[in-house]
Amino acid sequence: MESNRRMHRPGLLQAGMGRTAFLLVVLGAAGCTRSGEPFVVPEGPLPPNTVILAQMMRELSDRPGFTEAMLAQLNQGEKRGPALLTPALVDQLRKLIVGKDWQGLDRFPGWTMRQINPTVRVVGHVVAKDEKVKELAARHPGAPASAADVEQMKDFVDLGTYALSKAETVSLDDPSALPGFTTEGLVSELGAGVVRGDGPNPELAPLHAESQRLADLLNRLSLNGVEGSAPAVVTIVGKEARTPEQLEAALASSGHSVVVSDARYFANFGHFHYKGQDVMMPFWVNSQILVPGTRRPLLVPVSHAEYEWKVRGPKINADVSWYFGIDGKAEFRTMDTLDQSWVMGRHAHEYRGAEAVEVTRLAGKMMVAYVHQHLARPTLPFGGYYALGVCQDSVAAIEQKMTGKSTLFPNTADVALFDDARDAEVNGLITAIPKDRSGRLPQPERIFGSLPVSEAQLASISVPGLANDLQAVQTAWHSGHLRRVRGRNFVLVLWLEVLGVVLAIVVVILLRMRARRS
């Protein structure tokens, strides 16, 4: 009896080893952690009054027509952020919802920049075949602006009541006569308790009339630098300004405090609210950095970057921003809607005095360069967004000029398009920053630099699961143990791990065969 028990113990042990080895292979193929446990995208904890997109769609995806109505809203785009939804991305989003892949939806799309890039090119080929667009392009081979061009510029920059064809002088000594903040055109209802669009920021919305006037005038003064525009002049307490930087200097010299900030936020590609709660909708990209202790790449929400002007003083109290948005406009804008709490916000740099004047000058130069691009290349899809960069590119280019480095990801501008000799300074700035169109591996400095919190505040990020991943990658980076999901070293290690599992299986099989023979 005792001998029989001893004889069967090795067989039981070998069988258990075989099952374990097989399980390791299966779990490894499924993208598990190295501990063998499958990764489940966390759904909490969440900030107060916030739900994730998957929760909303669990409850509403079976409602007839709702999914398509939501996708149609997303197709209309938003001004802020780099969350460009091409037809391929919309189709992917639809598949996740229809297939009830809530894990995938909570990390949508999770693609690398190399995967996103072709989806934009496909749209470009379709747009370029439009005969009307071809005819328009033929009229703009880079020649000096015509009267028709001046009229067309209004499509690329918001000027309010100011006209490019009319010379005028505008005084800021009197209060703005523009209307106050309204949600008209900003907020729409989809039904089932879903609203798209954000309400007023209680601090900034009351300043809307002054902010809108200042944004319009900064845009108008910028376009003084475009051929064919009639001259515009802005005055304040006897001082004259004919460029954006002159207006900034005039404000500062007339008793106003002016602070220009390089601001970063998580991009919100939805701006949805469900039953009065914010719907968390980041747009995730694959950084191609390995999360330590796993075989998962670090997925990060893309960020939105902009420059912000805070003006306080005896005549003007206003807040305006500048960025290149998915509406195709590189311009000064108001910033008086209320952000959802999870997008957070950080000032990577703040500029005052002469530095603030210089950032203002560069923003005006960028605007002129983008107007030239629109006139020369009307066939670009999405108003040139992505091909001419996303919101990060121009901010990163100015950051590079002001600080000697750029810390934003991703940048997508095709430098071959920046060839207009009139915009030589801007061309050089755009050329100098790192590019991510081809799937180049981004530096960790740019991944962490894009975040709306500092490295010391990673734990405060409220997107479920993200803080832990970032902290693990941060530790590996600073200790010199960062690994990529691409490259010779990663492939070698992965093959060694696979080879180890295969050898373990072979050994188990041989032991079982030997046990059976005995």
Query: 341-392, pLDDT tens digit by residue?
Result: 999 999 999 999 999 999 999 999 999 999 999 999 998 988 899 999 999 9
Q: Considering only CA atoms, give the Rg of the chain.
A: 27
Same domain, 98 and 237: yes
Token pair recorded at residue 145: 């602006």
Q: How many CA atoms lie within 13 Å of 22's alpha carbon, on the beta-carbon side? A: 8
- On whether residue 39 sits in a domain, the answer given is no
β-strands 50-52, 277-280 pairing: parallel
84 band by pLDDT with thresholds 50, 70 and 90: low
The predicted pLDDT at position 348 comes to 98
> DSSP alpha helices (H): ranges in 223-288?
244-253
* Residue with more model confidence, 291 or 133: 291
Q: What is the mean pLDDT of residues 73-89?
A: 69
- On whether residue 43 sits in a domain, the answer given is no
The predicted pLDDT at position 508 comes to 77
% of the chain exceeding 70 in pLDDT: 82
Q: What is the mean pLDDT of residues 126-140?
A: 40
Same domain, 22 and 146: no
Same domain, 64 and 7: no
The predicted pLDDT at position 9 comes to 34
Token pair recorded at residue 274: 């469900």
Q: pLDDT at residue 70 above 60?
A: yes
Same domain, 320 and 261: yes
Q: pLDDT at residue 3 above 90?
A: no
Same domain, 451 and 499: no
DSSP state of 223: G
DSSP state of 109: E
SS3 state of residue 99 = coil
Least confident span in 118-127, 254-263, 373-382: 118-127
- On whether residue 158 sits in a domain, the answer given is yes
> How far is it, in rounded angstroms, from Cα 303 to Cα 311?
25
- On whether residue 432 sits in a domain, the answer given is yes
* Residue with more model confidence, 427 or 151: 427
Q: How many domains does the chain have?
A: 2
Q: What is the mean pLDDT of residues 98-105?
A: 96
Same domain, 493 and 427: no
Same domain, 78 and 185: yes
The predicted pLDDT at position 15 comes to 39
Cis before 141? omega within 30? no
Same domain, 74 and 174: yes
> How far is it, in rounded angstroms, from Cα 411 to Cα 394?
9
Same domain, 378 and 513: no
Task: Give residue 492's identity as a one-letter amino acid code.
Answer: L
Please name the residue that has the structure tokens 């430098």.
415
Q: What are phi and psi of 381, to 5 degrees?
A: -70, 155
Same domain, 20 and 154: no
The predicted pLDDT at position 347 comes to 98
Question: Average pLDDT of the chain?
Answer: 86
Alpha-carbon separation of residue 119 from 64, 164, 207, 418 (angstroms): 29, 36, 40, 22
Q: pLDDT at residue 446 above 70?
A: yes
The predicted pLDDT at position 411 comes to 96
Least confident span in 65-79, 112-126, 192-206, 436-450: 112-126
The predicted pLDDT at position 154 comes to 83
Q: How many CA atoms lie within 13 Å of 155's alpha carbon, on the beta-carbon side? A: 11
- On whether residue 102 sits in a domain, the answer given is yes
DSSP state of 165: T
Helix (H) or strand (E) holding 170: strand 168-171
Question: How many helices (H) and strands (E) in the chain?
Answer: 16, 16
- On whether residue 253 sits in a domain, the answer given is yes
259 forms bridges with which residues in the sheet? Answer: 310
Q: In this predicted model, what pLDDT tens digit does every residue of 151-201 receive, in sequence order?
A: 788 889 999 999 999 999 999 999 999 999 999 989 999 999 999 999 999
The predicted pLDDT at position 506 comes to 78
- On whether residue 196 sits in a domain, the answer given is yes
Range of the domain at 492: 2-30+488-517
> How far is it, in rounded angstroms, from Cα 402 to Cα 359?
8
Same domain, 496 and 472: no
Residue 99: which of 50, 145, 62 has the closest Cα?
A: 62
Give 343-394 as a DSSP string. Answer: G--EEEEEE-HHHHHHHHHHHHHHHHHHHHHHHH-TTSGGGGTBTTB-HHHH
> How far is it, in rounded angstroms, from Cα 225 to Cα 100?
52
CB 247 within 8 A of CB 75: no
143 band by pLDDT with thresholds 50, 70 and 90: very low
> How far is it, in rounded angstroms, from Cα 376 to Cα 156?
12
- On whether residue 45 sits in a domain, the answer given is no
Residues 6 or more apart whose CB falls under 8 angstroms from that of 31 comprise 38, 39, 295, 296
462 band by pLDDT with thresholds 50, 70 and 90: very high
SS3 state of residue 447 = helix
26 band by pLDDT with thresholds 50, 70 and 90: very low
The predicted pLDDT at position 486 comes to 66
The predicted pLDDT at position 129 comes to 41
Same domain, 511 and 430: no
The predicted pLDDT at position 17 comes to 38
The predicted pLDDT at position 208 comes to 98
CB 85 within 8 A of CB 332: no
> How far is it, in rounded angstroms, from Cα 53 to Cα 97?
10
CB 416 within 8 A of CB 376: no
